[in-house]
């Protein structure tokens, strides 16, 4: 998977600026790979944005790679439960060609700028079947298409195979008659293959011919307007027992627990992954991978920057999909806010099991409800999305944990307002922003140390989250923050350790004033309550920060100071002083995946 992403992304000249990796037993035979791509255009570009085939008499042009038997039934293969016979479905997997894709991108953009492209569709799931029916159905027109004009890479392909092939790097254009030759000349310039395969009409019927024989005669809207019906949903019976699970008593010292957590697969460094990607091609990338909670791109010619982050915590969603997806939104928004950005929009890819099973559909339904409620309350537009069902393994009788992956995009105004993750210098204050609750359900602490899946997962209070964000915007405006890192998997001690690594600094922490006496020590240290941040600030700004916190009604505590020696010292708990070696933690943090991959 990593090599496939690297080979394709690097060759197309698109930087891979960030991502997320999560390991779980439920993904063993259903490896999820979700990709989000950010595009950039001007208002003028969007004036010519092609949409659908709404004008009879336009030409239907197929452009790009040749049509083969690879990818046939790809989308239906993706909608089947995996069995021990699934190896036979390898032909359903598409074969990509990144070099062709690069030429298609350039040719498409230039063609659109002519103003002669009225409709445009990438050939994804369903191939020509979906592209032609969606273009004409959405445009309330019809079309006649001749499959013998489609350029194929394999001899003897029948009409069924040509219509359903999902071969990659293909686009369907709807082109105005007066601009046909100009658009085709652009395709010739970029040396991409093309064929005029048909013409739109006012029949509102899609007719497909294989030479003289008509093989399809169907109303255009029959495929573009799918029927909807409500499936049965049922909360799984096993959740009550999972949520009732209690955290066992400690069997290890806190130092040993922290060393184990920092080296665990879902917390450790993912440098082995991202070092294989070209994240600087195109000269837009600003913050290097590992130095911020999100990827940041400059908008060339302006002093504005795009920040993006993607991911979700499937363990939290497994226990409570409604609160879990909200927590995912808080986390991804928090990642870009930690870098100084304001969230502007989100897209998603909802990965779930078989929707025909009421328990599986319940997970999907509750996740959508949570996403909807959070985004409405925080006024965050959902501008796109995708759904992947049937992620189940019939051999092991297991489905993936609910994984509604989220990508958040935000804007930073001015390069001086970009904030990075590492502690900058010794002697600065360390603040914990946000409230820590006894929410260990689905935590890495439960999973790694106690081999538990259950417990009470984090919940979200949207108004407190909004107050926290507004507080951060205000102290950013006053230039009071040196470094920021959101608290995520493993709890806030893990967050502080990650901030120490780059500059090999340390921290002296005194938790006596911030420790909630109603919590167990392990609950306080390893809780994954969402919406929290670790801030590095100048000591002279201490009073100002507390005053602003009161104004915005947020919970913030100074918990320590940065130190020049790479050591984290923790006092204020009932136990003895804890001392953690930052260099040892850094080595554990960076060695896990290389060791697993035998690098």
pLDDT tens for 101-119 read 889 999 999 999 899 999 9
Over the stretch 295-323, which tens digit does the pLDDT of each residue have? 999 999 899 999 999 999 999 999 999 99
pTM of the model: 0.90
* Averaged pLDDT for residues 552-581: 93
Average pLDDT over residues 265-279: 88
Over range 487-509, report the average pLDDT: 97
Is the pLDDT confidence value at 576 over 90? no
- The answer to which of 60-64, 83-87, 168-172, 202-206 has the lowest mean pLDDT is 83-87
- What percent of the chain shows pLDDT beyond 70? 94
Q: Any long-range contacts for 39-46 (C-beta under 8 Å, 24+ apart)?
A: 40/299, 40/306, 45/112, 45/113
Which one, of 204, 62, 162, 192, lies nearest residue 120 by Cα? 62
Q: Which helix (H) or strand (E) holds 567?
A: strand 567-571
Band of pLDDT at residue 281, cut at 50, 70 and 90: confident
Q: Is 540 exposed, middle or buried (0-12, 13-18, 19+ CB in 10 A)?
A: exposed
Q: How confident is the model at residue 1 (pLDDT cuts 50, 70, 90)?
A: confident
Per-residue pLDDT band at 599 (split at 50, 70, 90): low
Q: What is the pLDDT of residue 95?
A: 59
Q: Is the pLDDT of residue 176 over 80?
A: yes
What would the two tokens of residue 376 be?
Answer: 């409405």
Helix axis angle, 492-501 to 254-262, nearest 10°: 60
**Where is average pLDDT lowest: 216-225, 338-347, 358-367, 561-570?**
216-225
- Spans of all domains in the chain: 43-224, 239-596
N- to C-terminal Cα separation, the chain: 17
The helix (H) or strand (E) run that includes residue 493 is helix 492-501
- The alpha carbon of 364 is separated from its chain's Cα centroid by a whole number of angstroms, namely 17
Predicted confidence (pLDDT) at residue 595 exceeds the cutoff of 60: yes
Q: Is 552 helix (H, G, I), strand (E, B) or coil?
A: helix
Strands (E) in 65-179, as ranges, are 117-122, 142-146, 170-175
Confidence at residue 73, expressed as pLDDT on a 0 to 100 scale: 56
- Judge whether residue 465 has pLDDT over 50: yes
Topology agreement, domain 43-224 and domain 239-596: no
d(CA 431, CA 429): 6
The pLDDT-based confidence of 397 (bands split at 50, 70, 90) is confident
What's the whole-number mean pLDDT along residues 180-206?
Answer: 96
Q: Give the chain's length.
A: 599
Pairwise CA distance, residues 365 & 476, whole Å: 37
C-alpha 126/C-alpha 161 separation (Å) is 11
The CATH T-level fold of domain 239-596 is 60s Ribosomal Protein L30; Chain: A; (3.30.1330)
**Coil, strand or helix at 479:** coil
Structure-block tokens of residue 573: 């708990």
Task: Band the pLDDT of 556: cuts 50, 70, 90.
Answer: very high
How many CA atoms are closer than 13 Å to the CA of 163, on its beta-carbon side?
17
Query: Higher model confidence: residue 51 or residue 474?
Result: 474
Tokens 């659109």 label which residue?
112
At 91, the pLDDT band (50, 70, 90 cuts) reads very low
Express each pLDDT in 230-253 by its tens digit: 899 999 999 999 999 999 998 899
Which of the pair, 420 or 598, is modelled with greater confidence? 420
Q: What's the CATH number of domain 43-224, 3.90.650.10, 3.30.1330.10, 3.40.605.10, 3.30.450.20? A: 3.90.650.10
Q: For residue 96, what pLDDT is reported?
A: 60
Dihedral pair phi/psi, residue 519, rounded to 5°: -100, 150
**For range 484-509, the mean pLDDT:** 97
How many whole angstroms separate alpha carbon 50 and alpha carbon 57? 16
What sign does the CA torsion over 2, 3, 7, 13 have?
positive
What distance in Å separates the CA atoms of residue 61 and residue 63, rounded to the nearest whole number?
Answer: 6
Residue 71 pLDDT? 64
Among all chains, which residue has been given the structure tokens 């920092």? 262
- DSSP string of 114-177, one letter each residue: TT-EEEEEE--TTTHHHHHHHHHHHHT-EEEEEGGGS-BSSTT--HHHHHH---SSEEEEEE-G
Mean pLDDT score of the chain: 91
Nearest residue to 483 (alpha-carbon basis) of 340, 373, 324:
340
The residue that leads in pLDDT, 552 or 52, is 552
**Binning pLDDT at 50, 70 and 90, where does residue 79 land?**
very low
- 335 secondary structure, DSSP code: H
At 470 the pLDDT is 98
Q: Are 258 and 493 contacting, i.e. CB atoms less than 8 angstroms apart?
A: yes
Element (H, E) at 207: strand 205-210
| 88 or 60, which is more confident | 60
C-alpha distances out from residue 366 to 267, 331, 405, Å: 27, 18, 14
Tell me which H or E stretch contains 413. strand 403-413
Instruction: Report the C-alpha gap between 305 and 413 in whole angstroms.
Output: 7
What is the pLDDT at residue 44?
A: 78
Looking at per-residue confidence, does 5 or 96 come out higher? 5
Bridging pattern class, strands 429-433 and 59-64: unpaired
Between 9-18, 551-560, 562-571, the lowest mean confidence (pLDDT) is in 9-18
Q: How confident is the model at residue 89 (pLDDT cuts 50, 70, 90)?
A: very low
**% helix, strand, coil for the chain, step of 5:** 35, 20, 40
Lookup: tokens for 315:
């363990």
């Amino acid at each position: 998977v990593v090599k496939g992403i690297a080979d394709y992304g690097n060759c197309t000249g698109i930087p891979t600026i960030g991502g997320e990796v999560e390991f779980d037993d439920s993904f063993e035979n259903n490896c999820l790979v979700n990709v989000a791509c950010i595009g950039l255009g001007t208002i003028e570009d969007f004036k010519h944005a092609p949409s659908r085939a709404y004008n009879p008499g336009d030409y239907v042009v197929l452009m790009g790679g040749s049509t083969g038997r690879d990818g046939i039934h790809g989308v239906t293969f993706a909608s089947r439960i995996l069995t021990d016979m699934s190896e036979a479905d390898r032909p359903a997997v598409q074969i990509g060609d990144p070099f062709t894709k690069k030429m298609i991108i350039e040719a498409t953009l230039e063609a659109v700028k002519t103003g002669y492209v009225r409709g445009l569709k990438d050939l994804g799931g369903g191939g020509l079947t979906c592209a032609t029916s969606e273009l004409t159905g959405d445009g309330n027109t019809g079309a006649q298409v001749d499959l013998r004009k489609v350029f194929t890479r394999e001899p003897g392909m029948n009409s069924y195979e040509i219509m359903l092939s999902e071969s990659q790097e293909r686009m369907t254009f709807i082109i105005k008659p007066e601009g046909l030759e100009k658009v085709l000349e652009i395709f010739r310039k970029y040396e991409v293959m093309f064929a005029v395969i048909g013409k739109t009409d006012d029949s509102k019927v899609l007719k497909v011919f294989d030479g003289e024989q008509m093989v399809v005669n169907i109303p255009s809207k029959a495929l573009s307007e799918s029927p909807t019906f409500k499936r049965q949903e049922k909360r799984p019976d096993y959740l009550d027992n999972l949520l009732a699970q209690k955290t066992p008593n400690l069997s290890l010292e806190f130092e040993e627990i922290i060393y184990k957590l920092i080296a665990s697969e879902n917390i450790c460094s993912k440098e082995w992954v991202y070092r294989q990607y070209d994240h600087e091609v195109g000269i837009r990338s600003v913050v290097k991978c590992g130095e911020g909670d999100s990827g940041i791109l400059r908008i060339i010619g302006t002093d504005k920057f795009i920040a993006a982050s993607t991911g979700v915590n499937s363990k939290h969603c497994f226990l409570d999909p409604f609160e879990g997806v909200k927590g995912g939104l808080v986390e991804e928004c928090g990642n870009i806010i930690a870098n100084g950005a304001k969230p502007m929009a989100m897209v998603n890819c909802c990965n779930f099991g078989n929707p025909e099973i009421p328990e599986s559909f319940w997970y999907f339904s509750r996740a959508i409800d949570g996403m909807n409620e959070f985004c409405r309350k925080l006024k965050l537009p959902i501008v796109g999305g995708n759904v992947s069902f049937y992620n189940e393994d019939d051999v092991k009788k297991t489905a993936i944990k609910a994984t509604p992956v989220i990508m958040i995009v935000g804007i930073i105004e001015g390069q001086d307002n970009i904030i990075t993750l590492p502690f900058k210098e010794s002697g600065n204050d360390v603040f914990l922003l946000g409230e820590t609750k006894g929410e260990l359900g689905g935590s890495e602490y439960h999973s790694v140390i106690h081999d538990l899946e259950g417990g009470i997962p984090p919940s979200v209070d949207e108004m407190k989250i909004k107050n926290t964000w507004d507080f951060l915007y205000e102290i950013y405006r006053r230039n009071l923050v040196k470094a920021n890192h959101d608290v995520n998997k493993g709890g806030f001690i893990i967050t502080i350790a990650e901030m120490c690594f780059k500059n090999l600094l340390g921290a002296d922490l005194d938790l006596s004033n911030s420790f909630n006496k109603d919590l167990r020590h392990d609950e306080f240290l390893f809780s994954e309550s969402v919406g929290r941040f670790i801030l590095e600030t100048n000591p002279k700004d201490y009073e100002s920060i507390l005053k602003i916190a009161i104004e915005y009604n947020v919970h913030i505590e100074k918990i320590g100071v940065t130190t020049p020696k790479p050591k984290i010292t923790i006092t204020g708990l009932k136990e003895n002083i804890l001392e953690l070696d930052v260099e040892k933690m850094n080595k554990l943090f960076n060695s896990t995946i290389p060791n697993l991959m035998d690098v």
